[in-house]
Structures are given as structure tokens and as C-alpha cells.
Structure 1
């Protein structure tokens, strides 16, 4: 007998009809306190060697209907190895067609990164001996908002802030941070060693743990889209932003990166702060330097496809990148990775996945190093003068 369940971190789907394996009717479940919906993650049991056709009847009502075009769902038997399965989108219905080879299989919108993995990541980082973990406060569900600090914390250090997963249904962002941390905490990596001689990193691997556990796409437990809360956060509605922003004002920020996933655009790209009031030639030069170094470090990164740039003075300062870039006068970027595949380097079996996100996180250290050298060279010139 077939069964679908979602009682695990990130689980999310609504079952409408499970009587016929060839015509399973499902629905995307909205975030717990908002209408956003696109994320799904569920376990199917009892269908080994049975051709299954699963229809998401309300896919046309999702947050990003254009995200379904050209998209293939992911599946796994062990939640370690994920692969793409045949999928299509027609007339507002998203359909997965797959024959499981075992009685237990998981399907998801993207390779998940659970809260348990998040806690394990914190433990591994602390175990390196190079990382300090601080508790900034609690979420509305009582989960910890943790900050990883890596570096000497000297006043002269370049302050590099990296946050991820403001939108919980974008797990590629935390896979990215895992890769960044793995390389940064490797004492044999010359780029990491050079960076930590000149910079201190402040990293929040998961800005929205409540949303992750609840299986939300974009919001926290209160229904707040954290990436629209930066201008005026509150402990009552968006404590995650409130406490992180408070710490930023304590440490200062020289470089900022906010990791995300984009449902529609099949490329890796960044979005900057061209539209904020304090944008200037210095920031523009640092942006160019960062992008050139990132492209040299990773063929997955490109700068041709992405979001339209804001006109001068038209940026939405509620967004993290715009708020931080404008407030601190620093280089600030939103990094976007695809849910589909990177059309510049396609992979039919896996598409864009956790490991590719992780490798991208490793490569971004080269871009940070290029910017760090430029910033410290300026400091040294001022000191000499």
C-alpha cells in the first residue's frame, strides 16, 4: 500500500489522492504563515517497481510559475545521493514521472540541507580550532541564531560577512557555506591562510532555521520574508535579522555576501548595489574585481545573465545587500544559484546540486582574496602617508 509522509525537517506536500500510482494528485503546501509556495519534500513508500505519475495540481499558483519550465525534480533513496527524475510542466500542473527501484524514496524541489546537517556543520567548524561560535539570540520557535567568527578579530582586519538561507527553501545556499567553511578552515590551504592573516570572517550559515524545519519556501515562523526586513527588523517579527544586523553594527562590514537560490534563471550570478544612494566608483571597482576573480576561480560563475540593475537611488533598502552596502559603504553582493541547472555547464544526471554549490563556496575564497588585497593595500597606503 502506498504512503506519502513529510514528518521530517523540511518536509512539505499536501496529498489529495493516492489511490492510483499512475495518477497521484498532490498540491504544493504554502509557508506556515504566508501564501508563498514552491518548495516540496516528501517520502513515498510502497511503490517499488511501480510506474508513478505525480501531479502537483496547483503548481501554476506557486510563487514562481516560470521556475517549472525546464526544471527536473530530485530524488534519493538514502538522502545522501540525489539525482534528477523526469518532470514536466503543462497547463499549470507540474508532473513527475518515475519508477522507484525500492519501497522507500524521497522527492524534493532541491537537494535538502536539514537542520541536523546545519548543527553538524557548526560542530565541525568549531572542532577545527579556528572557529568561535556565538549565540546572537533566538528565533520565534526558540532555535539558536548562531554566528561563526573565524580570524584574529583585529581592528585592522577586513571584516567579511557571509549570510545564507534567509529563504529556507533555498538549501543550495547552505551547501555553498559548507564549501566556503571547508576551505577557509583548512590550515594547508594557502588562500585561506593568507585571508585569515588580513581578514576576519563573520558567517551565519542559516538565517532561518525555523523556516527550514517547517518546510517553508521564503518565510520564517511569523510569515516574514527576512530579505525584506533589513530596514526595520523587530524581535517580534524578524529576530533573525534584528540580531544579525545588531552584530554587524558592532563589528562593521567591509565585504558582504548573501547566498540565495533563484527558481527561474539557470545560471550562477550576483546582484549588486548600483541603486543605493551611497553607491560610488570605489564600490563599482571592487565589484568588478570580485567578479573577475570569481570567474577566474570558477567556470560556473558568469556575469552575462542575471537581474536587471536598479536605477540610481531606486534600490529597495529592505533587502540585505542594499541595506548593508548602503549603510556601511562596502562591497555587497547577493549570490544566486539555480534550482534547475547551470546552462553554461549542464549536467543531465544531477543538474545544479549540493556538491556543485559546495565547490562554488570553495572557489569564492579566491574572489574574497582579490578584494581583501585591494582593501588592505589601500589601508597600507594611507598608513604610509
Structure 2
């Protein structure tokens, strides 16, 4: 009766190779428990449903339970006139649609068309290599779904102070503020629902927590209100609470590493509504290390937005009356330590930032790598690819840097050097050392060209992007120190270091690895220094000491021996 429709349904539709792969993948990992022969051929059904609008449902999107034989027959104006082929096709649609809504298939891989049209199909592979386009925008960072993130983009200019920034010289008369707490003070900033050791990472998304961003800061009562406005819900920020204990005095509590109850040393936050030529005092009350460079006068970093916009001045070391001391609030558990300092802001109504060290965020890294990828000269000898994805789905980048060799034999004879940084996210100085190295090795310096001729450099510039993004000091989103898990077999829990170790293993099969250097920062030591491996074989005992010796001879004013 309807030869055109019957011919159309008889057309052979080849199975989609990606869908076939994904079904096998889902079944292997237990997400699909039915037999393979009962799986829907979504390519066939896509063709039928798209071209036959009579197969629409009454319900809204996702309500597929009402797709029954009676429903389909009521929708068809000519149900009794269809051939047996069409009836069999309708029965397949009904059976597969019921199957898709059953608990057998527990997958978010299925997509449905809008306007209530039934069209289940598997998602296309999304960002298979998680790599940004050299022409498109950067990949936005992915945050744990518990984290609130402000929409405002934070950017700081790069600037080198014209003069050395000397430590504060303690006088011995520095004030030691008594910790008051929120019982006697006023909470002016506080983050809610911060994940601690009692919880664990489950999923992530761009922008973090869904919904409207709350205002954790106080609302100013008018132009005369001189309360400082705090904020840290941006990349690498980690202030959890601010308590106003006097007109110009604040107690600050840092957020611990996510999914832990420890590791507080790194800090980075913003203040607004400043008053010029007024002495403010800030006291961080929950630091965990008994010793610090602050004890000998290291100053916190401050950044003035007005100075950056007007005078092109960036981060600088500021502060007076600096004191690092033990907290007198003993809760019977681990002892806390305090850092207190005074500051005079340079401008009224300014936006200022404070940090433990010069921040270097995941977005900063992506901007730098994008500039390298877009450089027609550097991109010839620097190849950029994705090493893996972190727990939150952020890309861990791998750079391969070497000059092209004239023959395969020359290429195979090159030895390798492996460099990495930011396994500890709060040690941002490691990223600045890494940037300095990349600036040099990618330059047209004769020394850099010679090194590229001789070696193959494998560089992982940020081993722990998740920790960097959320403002952790030590850990990944697994709540563990990645630097203590290089021998792990848990690929899914520690993907960044697992893939780094695997990359080095493969590299060792190809060529000799002459050096592996991992860049860190230290909270108690000055200048640049190296820790090395101790080889029990006396034949190689001096090998680990050659590179530190070379550094100390070439840069005696910067390297501590």
C-alpha cells in the first residue's frame, strides 16, 4: 500500500563504528547489562524517527515510558494498512525505547533531540585529545562541583622590580596579636560548603557549582563604610574566612586543601574598598608549618590594580611588623601558626591582591602555550600535545622540544632531558622557573640552538592542574600529595603522575634519559638548591652531583651549594 515507505525501511543502514565501540565499552565496564543483540540500531531509528513525525510522544523530553504499541497505533492515521515490515520496525522501536528507559542502560552517553522528538543516539567523541585550538578560545578550567567561582576574570601584569626587594628586618618588638575569633569579631567573608576530609571528589564542570553565586562578603552601608571586601573564588584563590576584629584589623583563615583537613601555607585573595595612608593589620591564623621564611622577614606580595593600570607596576613585596608565631588557640589537635603583618594601601578605593608567592595559574600556562603554538618559528621545533586529563578533566600538557635532525640515525642518537613542575600547586615559583627555561630553550640563542641539536626535551609544565586551579597548597583532588605516589598503580586516582611515569618509561625504551628535574618551591630555604637521588652503585655515585655542581659554578649568586 505504501511502497515508498517500505522501500525506505528496507534500505540497509550500516552500524556506526563509534556507537558499536561505545556499546562494547559500556558493556565491558558494567554500564550496560543486556545482550548485544538487543541493542538498538540508533542509525536506523534515527532515520525512521527523523523522517516520520507521526512517531512523536505525548510527554516531554526524556519521558519515554508512554511509548507503547497502543500509543503508536493511536498516533498513526493508517495503522491497519501498514505492511508486516513496518509493523516489525514499529515493534523494534517500541522494544528498544522501553529498553533505553530501563535500568539496564545506566549511561549519560545518550542524546535526545529537542521538541520532544525521540532520537536516542550516542554522543560524539568530545575533545578526544582535550586540546585547545590555536585559533579558538582557551579551554576554561574545570572545577569540582562544590566550588563557587566568580565570573570575573582575574589578570595580573608581569613586572620586574627595578631594585632588589629586601626582607623586613625584625626588631624584636613586633606586636603579637591575640586571636579574637568570630565570637568577639564580625565575619565579613566566609565560604560555605567547603569540601573537607569527610568528603571526596565526584565530578567537575566549567564554572564549578551550579546556580546563582552567593555574596559571602558583607554589604557596604554607604560611602563612609570602610569595611574591606574580600574575595578568593577565582583561580588559585584560597581564603575561607575573614573576621573583622578592629576598625582596620582582620583575622584570616585559609581554606585547607580540598578533601583534606591540612596543608595551609599558600594564600591568595583580593581586597577592595581600601583607604589610603591607613595602617591595616592582617593575621593569618591557621598556618601549619612551625618554620617559615617569614620568621626572618620575608614579606607578603601585594598587587595594586590602580598602580598596574596607571604606572605599570605589578606584584611587589610589601609589609611591616612581620611576625610568624604559634597560635595560642590550642584545640588539642595539630598546632597552628600565625603570620601577621601591617600594610598601608597606596590608593583609596583600590582593588588589591595578596599572595604567598607570585601566582601562576592554569590559565596563565594555557596563554603561554597558545603563544608558542601560534609562533611560526617556535612551533617548528616545539610540539605540543595532551599527556592526559586530570581527575577534574583538565588537560595535562606535554611539550617535545628538539631541532629536526638531518638523518634518522642522528635523531635516534639524541639523549633526552625530562622537566616538570607544579606537582605541588602552592609552589608557584616552580612555574616561573619553568617559564624562564622555556623562554630560553625556545629562543634563538646559540646556546639554546645547540641544546636543541643535541637533546630531546620532554616538558610537563604543570603536573597538578586541578590543585593549581582550586588553590591547593600540596594535594590533588584525590586529597593526596602526588609527589608521594609515583609508584602508584592507581591510574584513575592519580592520572597525572601515572601518565608522566609511563611517558618516561616509553622514552627510556627509545633513548637514554640523561636528566629528570622536577621544579619545586620551598618555604624555609633561600635561593636555588637541588635534591638528588642517592645511587647505591659507587660507579655512578658522582653522576647525580654533576648537574648541581655545574649550576653552582655558573650561577654562584643564585644557587646554594
Does the alignment reach a TM-score above 0.5?
yes
In structure 1, list runs of 5 or more residues that go unmatched: 305-385
In 2, the alpha carbon distance for the partners of 1:147 and 1:234 equals 21
Number of aligned positions between the proteins: 298
Shift of 1:155: 2.0
Is residue 169 from structure 1 mapped to residue 169 from structure 2 by the alignment? no
What does 1:260-339 align with in structure 2 at a 5 Å threshold?
A: 260-274=520-534, 276-277=535-536, 279-282=537-540, 284-304=541-561
**Contact (CA 8 Å) 1:224, 1:237: kept in 2 or not?**
no
Partner of 2:490: 234
In 2, the alpha carbon distance for the partners of 1:230 and 1:201 equals 21
* CA offset digits 1:175-209 (Å, max 9, x no partner): 0111111110112x111111111100000111011
Is residue 191 from structure 1 mapped to residue 458 from structure 2 by the alignment? no
**Contact (CA 8 Å) 2:294, 2:339: kept in 1 or not?**
yes
In 1, the alpha carbon distance for the partners of 2:263 and 2:302 equals 23
**Contact (CA 8 Å) 2:533, 2:544: kept in 1 or not?**
no
In structure 2, list runs of 5 or more residues that go unmatched: 1-226, 327-336, 406-410
Shift of 1:156: 1.1
Partner of 1:258: 518
Partner of 2:237: 11
Higher helix share: 1
In 1, the alpha carbon distance for the partners of 2:303 and 2:524 equals 23
**Contact (CA 8 Å) 1:72, 1:88: kept in 2 or not?**
no
In 1, the alpha carbon distance for the partners of 2:555 and 2:316 equals 23
Q: Do the aligned partners of residues 58 and 10 (structure 1) sit closer, same or farther apart at CA in structure 2, a change above 3 Å counting?
A: same
Shift of 1:123: 1.6
* CA offset digits 1:97-154 (Å, max 9, x no partner): 1011132110001010011111012122332222101111110111001100001482
In 1, the alpha carbon distance for the partners of 2:412 and 2:385 equals 19
CA RMSD of superposed structures (Å): 1.9
**Contact (CA 8 Å) 2:238, 2:269: kept in 1 or not?**
yes
Is residue 225 from structure 1 mapped to residue 481 from structure 2 by the alignment? yes
2:284 paired residue among 23, 42, 56 = 56
What SS is found at the alignment partner of 2:238? coil
Is residue 68 from structure 1 mapped to residue 324 from structure 2 by the alignment? no
In 2, the alpha carbon distance for the partners of 1:109 and 1:119 equals 22
In 1, the alpha carbon distance for the partners of 2:289 and 2:393 equals 27
* CA offset digits 1:274-307 (Å, max 9, x no partner): 1x55x5433x433343223212322344343xxx
In 1, the alpha carbon distance for the partners of 2:358 and 2:529 equals 20
* CA offset digits 1:71-117 (Å, max 9, x no partner): 32111114771111223213332112101113211000101001111
Q: Do the aligned partners of residues 88 and 225 (structure 1) sit closer, same or farther apart at CA in structure 2, a change above 3 Å counting?
A: same
Partner of 1:343: none
Partner of 2:361: 114
Shift of 1:233: 4.4
* CA offset digits 1:292-349 (Å, max 9, x no partner): 3212322344343xxxxxxxxxxxxxxxxxxxxxxxxxxxxxxxxxxxxxxxxxxxxx
Partner of 2:387: 136
1:145 paired residue among 385, 388, 396 = 396
Is residue 179 from structure 1 mapped to residue 436 from structure 2 by the alignment? yes
What is the TM-score of this pair, normalised by structure 2?
0.51
In 2, the alpha carbon distance for the partners of 1:272 and 1:85 equals 34
1:105 paired residue among 342, 346, 352 = 352
In 1, the alpha carbon distance for the partners of 2:522 and 2:293 equals 8
**Contact (CA 8 Å) 2:527, 2:560: kept in 1 or not?**
no
Q: Do the aligned partners of residues 143 and 63 (structure 1) sit closer, same or farther apart at CA in structure 2, a change above 3 Å counting?
A: farther
Q: Do the aligned partners of residues 105 and 140 (structure 1) sit closer, same or farther apart at CA in structure 2, a change above 3 Å counting?
A: same
What SS is found at the alignment partner of 1:201? strand
**Contact (CA 8 Å) 1:21, 1:51: kept in 2 or not?**
no
Of the two structures, which has the highest relative contact order with CA contacts closer than 8 Å and spacing of 6 or more?
1
What is the TM-score of this pair, normalised by structure 1?
0.73
